Structure 1
Amino acid sequence: MHRIFEFDDIIYAVLQHVKSSGTDLVNVAMTCSRLADSALNILWAEQSSLAPLIMCLPQDTWEVTENELGHIVHFSRDPTPIEWERLRKNASRVRRLVGPHGFTDVLKLPRGESFIPDLDVSGYVLQRLFAWSRPATLFPNLCELHFDAVFSLLECSSKYWLLRKFISLGLQALRFDVIDIPTHEAEQLLATLPAEAHGLRQLTVSADDGTMALTVPPSLGKLPKLIGLAIFGIDVCLTRQTIANIQQAWCLQSLKLKLCGTSCDAGGIPLELPSLKTLHLSDGSLPQCTHFLRQVTTPKLSHIDIRYRGSASPAEMTAFIESLSTSCQTGGYLERVHVIDESKIPDPLLIIPLSSEIFRPLFKFNRLSSVKFVGVGNFNLDDGFLYDVPDAWPSIRELKLTSWKRRAIDSVTFTAMMSLASRCRSLQTLHLTVDATQSTIIPRAPDGTEKLWPTQTALRNLHLGYSQVSEVARIPYFLAEVFPTLFDFKWYDYYCGHYDDPDIAMISALSALNDALQELWALRKSAGDHDLDERWEKDSDDSWT
């Protein structure tokens, strides 16, 4: 073998090119003894089940059966002590026991020419495995554990006992559910983490079945390396206590909370979260999210993601944005604001007019690169707002103001949209409903002659929502001339109304948009863009957000 493979760093760099395929890694390991150890380390580093480990035992010790839970590995006989030892080497290579999204090509048990998917192990197999060796001893290099994703088949009474056995000083990321664990035991477990898992950097605790809400213990402040905390099931009646305890974790950079309850506590003077960069709040109403923001100051916050349930009035949206402006006192850090109404069945008749003045306080955050308000109401913006965006957000890359419902009158014009999109030189994605029923007003040069907007080569995705369109606006011509790299041009291709009484205006608008797309396509092809068909087909992202 060449001398270059005497260096582990070079070997690992080479193996990065095949690490996504378990089969390829096995083939590499069988090629050369010098490569085998490194290849097997990568192969075993991340597992979503203990089934591959059990299948290292002699084949006559185990069998696979299928039931309503999937394909399960059982013992056909108990392994001998010597046979158990065959597991130890590979178990020591495991660094992450996580969910089912590990390798895209994990080596699985063959059956004929196919593979058995999603293998898991029975509770009895787990019982025998950990009777032979304690988890912390069997997996000495484990640094990440998503407990319930790997041990979902365990009986509730066994989960808490086994979870405690996995806690170790080497653990850096831990995720577990407390749905089946009594409240006092869950609190005891959290209280032991500073002593037994001192190196934790990421902690996720879930109690999101709706019957249990957690409080954050102050002991989390004794985890000096904790930078990410997610708790799915926080009682909003104890917001003040929760924030006070979270505040003890001075290095915390990412906080995700799923809110429970219907009311809020009294609050008080805001508490500072000095290192927080990312905040996610979900499942509560928008006023509950606003209440949380009013209780904190986040001088270094760069990303905020709010996913609330239940329609919010214009006054409630105004209060939320004002609270965000107050919480983020330093305007130079915030880069992303995402606010999404995730109500399962939004009221189709409810009108929530949202004027430009509601959103103007966001102009103080001059580093914003992504702004998304999705399904929050009916945008009643004015052209002046669009004209001010390029100056307020010079680095904007994504702007989505998305409504679930069509308005009778669209308040911003296609002319203003063209001005915004051409002046925002980094803008790649724009979702906006406009009025394109009138002639587009072309800018004029100093001598009074018409002069098109400057060419903008960043814009890739344009969604015109429920826009009303007329041929006189000349949409295809302007899009082709000003945005030569635009290849994703969409709109909502359905209309409201009864089958026997369709919305004629909406049908007309859809027809006009389709004609505009075909004309834009023709203009691109005439300009020599022959791979347009392929690019258009490959880009299929038409998500709400």
Structure 2
Amino acid sequence: MHPALGNLEIIYTICSYTQHGSLTALASTCRTFERPALNILWRHLQSLKPFIKCLPSDLFGSDQGRMVLQKPLNGEMWDTLFKYTSRVHSIAVTQSRRLTVIIEPLSLLMLSCPLAPAFFFPNLRKLTWFADGTHDAAEFLRAALVPSLLALDLQISSASSAFLFVISSLGTLCPHLQDMAVRIQNRTDDSFRRISPFITQPISQLHHLHALSVWDLGNQGVEHVMHLQALKSLCLDLGTLSACERKSHLQFPGFHDLDFLCLSTDTFKRVSNFLNSLRVVESKEIQVNFNFQAAHSSASGPTMLSQFFIILQERCDNDRLEGFTLVGISGKVQAKTGVLTPLQACRNLTRLSVEQGCDISISDEELCQLVREWPKLEVLKVSSYVADNSTTMPTLHGLIALLRLCPSLTSLALVVDATKLDGINLKCPGGGRCNKHLKHLALGNSPVGSSLHVALILSGLFPHLEQVNFDYGDRMQTMKKSAIERRESVQSFLSGFSIVRERYTE
């Protein structure tokens, strides 16, 4: 054998580049390759089927189309099973017709295990379960929830009592859990009301939890979450469990020392009420996912959006907040730039993104007034597509002023009126000022006049910009061919300028 194969690191490198289907053959080549090859083969499993396949075929039979155990496992079979399960670091299970056939005999195996259930997967780090919470699944889950587990991702459409009882023991079974996400596919009040107590109970025991994604667990559950000292990332779905609405006379201490807070909701009122129930939200970044469908048919949408921003500014730590993102899932809300004014109190803001579902009218003067308080801004996304022709858009004059007020911008998404170029010096559009940091520019469905002139201005303002992204939305079929060609020409000119610049600098 070549001396290089005596180096374990080289062996693992060879195994890591071996096709998954060939690892079994490689493991049987010699003892040198056996352990590394088996470690990689079993490290990450996308199915439960390998646990059945590693046992003798005569161990299982069929009864009315279902797999059943024919006989108990002897000591040698248990040793074989443990030889492989001890190598597993992650398991991902998704719902399929074959899952039921596999999970039933597997649960019987675990019931007959002569050792403690945790001995099945002593090195398991991550478990993903996107399937039903049946009684048999509970048996498997009981063996998979081990002290070594660090990440748990559950998505269930239904849950048996046995499954819920196992979940309620998470705090003691997985004391070192760091990342936890729980979702319910059957989104009804009854489902959330039934399952919530079993999730709420163990949360207070997960003292090492860094990231949590869950629905609104009610007042008691939210209080438990607030006491998790290690928590840095929290995602709450507030669009569920109407019986657990915040009560106005209750006020919680709030969330302290978070890096990321994400709130998902279907109404402005619900998220505003939630924030109003807190004394403070100390988070570096806040994201709000709105389903604007209800607001779309209501004239009160802009007013409630404005009230939300006022409450957000009152409750968040203005000195700590560095990033805010607003995402609309469906529908559109028409608003004016004044709705964002409360965020000007957050002087350390580096990222502001209004991604979808909200058309914000903004002039050149309003754009400058808005960003004047954010000299550290690096990412600005105010509009990516304007659906209403009555929406006011800034011009390239406003873009030049923005460059002066926010010199650290690296990413910008803004629909501008690129037809008004009067007064702009094409040779030196920024008056000697440019931004060499900007790498990403999205102009949405900005109207374009002269493609060459627009490209010259953009190239002069952003010398390192290689391309600009346009968004035609769902109206491309009805747009004039000349309008589409003008936008595409801007991109062609920018690419050509970039090539010439590179050759010149060489």
Do Structure 1 and Structure 2 share a fold, with TM-score over 0.5? yes
Corresponding residue to 1:48 among 46, 49, 52:
46
| Number of the residue aligned with 2:88 | 94
Rounded Cα–Cα distance in structure 1 between residues aligned with 2:56 and 2:432:
72
Q: Structure 1 residues 529, 138: closer, same or farther in 2, change over 3 A?
A: farther
**Runs of 5+ unmatched residues, structure 2:** 296-300
Q: State whether residues 363 and 393 of structure 1, in contact with CA within 8 Å, keep that contact through their aligned partners in structure 2.
A: no
Q: State whether residues 179 and 210 of structure 2, in contact with CA within 8 Å, keep that contact through their aligned partners in structure 1.
A: yes
Q: Structure 1 residues 429, 23: closer, same or farther in 2, change over 3 A?
A: farther
Corresponding residue to 2:433 among 444, 451, 454:
454
Rounded Cα–Cα distance in structure 1 between residues aligned with 2:429 and 2:73:
87
| Number of the residue aligned with 2:170 | 193
| Number of the residue aligned with 2:335 | 354
Question: Is 1:464 matched with 2:443?
Answer: yes
Q: Structure 1 residues 12, 387: closer, same or farther in 2, change over 3 A?
A: farther
Rounded Cα–Cα distance in structure 1 between residues aligned with 2:157 and 2:37:
38
| Number of the residue aligned with 1:542 | none
| Number of the residue aligned with 2:323 | 336
Q: Structure 1 residues 63, 342: closer, same or farther in 2, change over 3 A?
A: farther
Q: Structure 1 residues 369, 52: closer, same or farther in 2, change over 3 A?
A: farther
Rounded Cα–Cα distance in structure 2 between residues aligned with 1:428 and 1:516:
22
Q: Structure 1 residues 404, 52: closer, same or farther in 2, change over 3 A?
A: farther
Q: Structure 1 residues 153, 323: closer, same or farther in 2, change over 3 A?
A: closer
Q: Structure 1 residues 295, 393: closer, same or farther in 2, change over 3 A?
A: farther
| Number of the residue aligned with 1:210 | 187
The CA RMSD measured in Å over matched residues stands at 4.1
User: How far apart are 1:429 and its partner, in Å?
Assistant: 3.2
Corresponding residue to 1:324 among 297, 307, 312:
312
Matches within 5 A, 1:30-109: 33-58=31-56, 81=74, 82-99=76-93
Rounded Cα–Cα distance in structure 2 between residues aligned with 1:222 and 1:248:
10
Rounded Cα–Cα distance in structure 2 between residues aligned with 1:530 and 1:493:
32
* Letter of the structure 2 residue corresponding to residue 253 of structure 1: K
1:521 match: secondary structure: helix
User: How far apart are 1:362 and its partner, in Å?
Assistant: 2.0
User: How far apart are 1:176 and its partner, in Å?
Assistant: 3.2
User: How far apart are 1:528 and its partner, in Å?
Assistant: 3.2
Rounded Cα–Cα distance in structure 2 between residues aligned with 1:274 and 1:163:
33
Q: State whether residues 177 and 208 of structure 2, in contact with CA within 8 Å, keep that contact through their aligned partners in structure 1.
A: yes
* Letter of the structure 1 residue corresponding to residue 207 of structure 2: P
1:468 match: secondary structure: coil
Q: Structure 1 residues 88, 160: closer, same or farther in 2, change over 3 A?
A: closer
| Number of the residue aligned with 1:386 | 367
* Letter of the structure 2 residue corresponding to residue 248 of structure 1: H
Kindly tell me the number of residue pairs found equivalent between the two proteins. 479
Q: Structure 1 residues 444, 421: closer, same or farther in 2, change over 3 A?
A: same
* Letter of the structure 1 residue corresponding to residue 339 of structure 2: I
| Number of the residue aligned with 1:229 | 212
Rounded Cα–Cα distance in structure 1 between residues aligned with 2:167 and 2:69:
38
Rounded Cα–Cα distance in structure 2 between residues aligned with 1:138 and 1:513:
60
| Number of the residue aligned with 1:541 | none
2:213 match: secondary structure: strand
Corresponding residue to 1:284 among 251, 254, 266:
266
| Number of the residue aligned with 2:492 | 521
Rounded Cα–Cα distance in structure 1 between residues aligned with 2:395 and 2:279:
38
Corresponding residue to 2:284 among 288, 295, 302:
302
Rounded Cα–Cα distance in structure 2 between residues aligned with 1:380 and 1:61:
70
Rounded Cα–Cα distance in structure 1 between residues aligned with 2:106 and 2:249:
47
Rounded Cα–Cα distance in structure 1 between residues aligned with 2:15 and 2:283:
34
User: How far apart are 1:218 and its partner, in Å?
Assistant: 5.6
Q: State whether residues 373 and 401 of structure 1, in contact with CA within 8 Å, keep that contact through their aligned partners in structure 2.
A: yes
Q: Structure 1 residues 24, 481: closer, same or farther in 2, change over 3 A?
A: farther
User: How far apart are 1:372 and its partner, in Å?
Assistant: 1.9
Q: Which segment drifts farther, 85-94 or 372-381?
A: 372-381
Question: Is 1:475 matched with 2:454?
Answer: yes
Q: Structure 1 residues 364, 12: closer, same or farther in 2, change over 3 A?
A: farther
Rounded Cα–Cα distance in structure 1 between residues aligned with 2:405 and 2:389:
27
* Letter of the structure 1 residue corresponding to residue 460 of structure 2: E
Question: Is 1:125 matched with 2:109?
Answer: no
User: How far apart are 1:183 and its partner, in Å?
Assistant: 7.4
| Number of the residue aligned with 1:439 | 421
Deviations 1:342-374 (A, max 9, x none): 13xx26xxxx43222211222333443432213
User: How far apart are 1:410 and its partner, in Å?
Assistant: 2.8
1:317 match: secondary structure: helix
* % identity of equivalent residues: 21
* Letter of the structure 1 residue corresponding to residue 268 of structure 2: L
Rounded Cα–Cα distance in structure 2 between residues aligned with 1:432 and 1:246:
37
| Number of the residue aligned with 1:399 | 381
Q: Structure 1 residues 277, 524: closer, same or farther in 2, change over 3 A?
A: closer
Deviations 1:299-352 (A, max 9, x none): 541222221223542222222222222232242x33332211213xx26xxxx4
2:118 match: secondary structure: helix
Q: Which segment drifts farther, 316-325 or 484-493?
A: 484-493
Point out the structure with the larger helix share.
2
1:141 match: secondary structure: coil
Q: State whether residues 210 and 231 of structure 2, in contact with CA within 8 Å, keep that contact through their aligned partners in structure 1.
A: yes
Q: TM-score, normalization: structure 2? A: 0.79
Q: State whether residues 15 and 37 of structure 2, in contact with CA within 8 Å, keep that contact through their aligned partners in structure 1.
A: no
| Number of the residue aligned with 2:152 | 174
Rounded Cα–Cα distance in structure 2 between residues aligned with 1:298 and 1:11:
53
**Runs of 5+ unmatched residues, structure 1:** 65-71, 101-116, 532-545
Q: State whether residues 437 and 472 of structure 1, in contact with CA within 8 Å, keep that contact through their aligned partners in structure 2.
A: no
Q: State whether residues 221 and 247 of structure 1, in contact with CA within 8 Å, keep that contact through their aligned partners in structure 2.
A: no
Deviations 1:163-203 (A, max 9, x none): 334333333223335653367973x5454333333222223
Q: Structure 1 residues 290, 59: closer, same or farther in 2, change over 3 A?
A: same
Q: Structure 1 residues 279, 51: closer, same or farther in 2, change over 3 A?
A: same
* Letter of the structure 1 residue corresponding to residue 398 of structure 2: A
2:86 match: secondary structure: helix
Rounded Cα–Cα distance in structure 1 between residues aligned with 2:54 and 2:408:
53
